[in-house]
Amino acid sequence: MAVKVIVGSQWGDEGKGKITDILAEHMDLVVRYQGGNNAGHTVVVGDKTFKLHLIPSGVLYKECCCVIANGVVIDPEVFFGEIETLKKQGVYVTSDQLKVSSIAHVILPFHKLLDNRQESKRHEEKIGTTGRGIGPTYTDKVARSGVRIMDLMCRERLAKKIRKHQWELLLPDHELDIEGIIDQCHELGKKLAPFVIDTSLFINQAIDQNKNIILEGAQGTMLDVDHGTYPFVTSSNPVSGGACVGAGIGPHKIDEVLGVVKAYVSRVGEGPFPTELHCETGLRLREKGCEYGTTTGRPRRCGWLDMVALRYAIRVNGMTEICLTKLDVLDGLPSIKICVGYEIEGQLITEFPLDVDDFTSAKPIYEEHPGWTEDISSLTDFDALPENAKDYVRHIELVSGVRIGMVSVGSKRDQTIHLLQAH
């Protein structure tokens, strides 16, 4: 019986979906606590690939209840679209299995328009957002002008909120039909009603009943609005602390924090990335790792593992365990580098710099590890790994000071090495 947070340790796309799905087999609840459909979590089962954006990655297990909690921003159209897509793939999701918070904020058509307009005006300062309206929706939430799920149920209240909002100030030339949007949102609200509950109450009752719960983070630590590479971040708190606020539970209810760590690093969108590889090896990681955005299809930037950033992520999340993913993507590389420090203005820095300008100018200092030639994607036993692969994993564990409990060597469920004992 445990409450476990799964967090992305880097810039997202670490494989949180795969790991959540594997663990969900023994879970009663899987809860999304922040972000929205900017997330793209892939779960591969047999020859089927599921791309989940809003619905928690526990959905493939009928016995596992999925919760979209208060900290998530919800695009109702996307919500129903995802249910339809799952249905086409043979997964039937009903309101018995899926719960939505009544106080989660709603992504409106204005937010999506604004997200894209703001991006196009940023020129060199572009963030490279997913264009899903995430930033503007969280902006409205904090400005206390947002629309919440419960508002969709009452046309009068919804109309008052939407009409009162001064969209014209932000989007002077918008051609959106405000009254049409009110009608459309109200209709979606009525359709949503059976799914809507007080999710904090529901989750806390499940905790009291000793249920097994995963709080599934979206994005990653380095995209956290507080702890990430601001301003090149998302607008919510993917870190483990965000799970308390975003799900409405107390910090002492969390037992474990599992950090999903890619064996190298990827980033999609703009922003500094000291270990990025602009060479053949970077392209090789992208192609072998299929590093193309699950949500936008954009090619992901790839580079070496950054231990300075990882130690920082371990600290700000209070990580208790690591799951190392995509180790197989490193197969065949003659040598593998790990960044152990930065040179910033002639100084050796080993703690993550909070000033984004320092991080932008950081030159990585590497240590080099020998690679392996074998294909490891079918191995399920740690001892069967090539010596150099074992050393790479052990080294990461040693330097990070956090136990590696799982190593993933492929996108499928069975391409996973479970490490229960010390190795």
Q: Given the complex with ligand IMO, which of 299 and 370 has the nearer CB atom?
A: 299
Residue appearing with tokens 């999701």: 93
Q: Is 14 in the site for ligand GDP (CB under 6 A)?
A: yes
Contacts of ligand GDP in 312-371 (CB under 6 A):
325-326, 328-329
Cα diameter, the chain:
66
Question: 350-353 contacts: CB < 8 A, separation 24 or more?
Answer: 350/308, 351/308, 351/311, 351/312, 352/308, 352/309, 352/311, 352/312
Give the interface size with ligand IMO as a residue count (CB under 6 A).
Answer: 24
269 binds, among ligand IMO, Mg ion, ligand GDP, none (CB under 5 to 8 A by kind): ligand IMO
Phi, psi values for residue 305, rounded to 5°: -60, 135
The radius of gyration of the chain's CA atoms, rounded to the nearest angstrom, is 21
Contacts of ligand IMO in 163-192 (CB under 6 A):
none
Residue 295 and residue 319: Cα distance in Å, rounded?
27
Query: Which window, 69-77, 121-129, 145-153, 327-335, contacts ligand IMO (CB under 6 A)?
Result: 121-129
**Is-contact 133 114, C-beta < 8 A?**
yes
Q: Is 36 in the site for Mg ion (CB under 5 A)?
A: no
355 is catalytic: no
Tell me the H-state helices in 89-147. Answer: 109-122, 134-142
Q: What residue is closest to ligand IMO based on CB?
A: 269
Cis peptide before 370 (omega within 30 of 0): no
Q: Is 53 in the site for ligand GDP (CB under 6 A)?
A: no
Query: Which window, 102-110, 130-138, 162-170, 294-302, contacts Mg ion (CB under 5 A)?
Result: 294-302
Residue 410 and residue 363: Cα distance in Å, rounded?
31
Q: Is 36 in the site for ligand GDP (CB under 6 A)?
A: no
Out of 17, 35, 36, 259, point to the residue binding ligand GDP (CB under 6 A). 17
Q: 191: closest CA among 105, 100, 278? A: 100
**Is-contact 294 51, C-beta < 8 A?**
yes
Out of 34, 70, 97, 130, point to the residue binding ligand IMO (CB under 6 A). 130
Residue 239 and residue 228: Cα distance in Å, rounded?
10
44 binds, among ligand GDP, Mg ion, ligand IMO, none (CB under 5 to 8 A by kind): ligand GDP
Kind and range of the H or E element at 106?
A: strand 105-106
Contacts of ligand IMO in 290-319 (CB under 6 A):
294
418 is catalytic: no
Residue from 21, 28, 41, 111 carrying the catalytic annotation: 41
Contact characters 250-269, ligand IMO, x per CB under 6 A: ------------------xx
**Is-contact 400 315, C-beta < 8 A?**
no
Enter the tokens of residue 376: 């490891």
Q: Given the complex with ligand IMO, which of 139 and 204 has the nearer CB atom?
A: 139
Residue 31 and residue 349: Cα distance in Å, rounded?
37
Q: Is 411 in the site for ligand IMO (CB under 6 A)?
A: no
Q: Given the complex with Mg ion, which of 37 and 317 has the nearer CB atom?
A: 37
Q: Is 16 in the site for ligand GDP (CB under 6 A)?
A: yes
Query: Which window, 60-68, 216-224, 314-322, 395-403, contacts ligand IMO (CB under 6 A)?
Result: 216-224
Enter the tokens of residue 274: 């000291």
Contact characters 272-311, ligand GDP, x per CB under 6 A: -----------------xx---x-----------------
Query: Which window, 34-42, 83-91, 241-249, 325-333, contacts ligand IMO (CB under 6 A)?
Result: 34-42
Out of 3, 192, 223, 324, point to the residue binding ligand IMO (CB under 6 A). 223
Burial of 3 (0-12, 13-18, 19+ CB in 10 A): buried
Q: What ranges make up the beta strands (E) of 226-362?
A: 256-262, 265-267, 301-303, 305-306, 321-325, 335-344, 347-349
Residue appearing with tokens 């900290």: 71
Out of 8, 40, 56, 146, point to the residue binding Mg ion (CB under 5 A). 40
Q: Is 132 in the site for ligand GDP (CB under 6 A)?
A: no
Q: Is 219 in the site for Mg ion (CB under 5 A)?
A: no
**Active site residues per annotation:** 13, 41
Site residues, ligand GDP (CB under 6 A): 8, 12-18, 40-42, 44, 289-290, 294, 325-326, 328-329, 408-411
Site residues, ligand IMO (CB under 6 A): 8, 11-13, 38-41, 127-130, 132, 134-135, 218-220, 223, 234-235, 268-269, 294
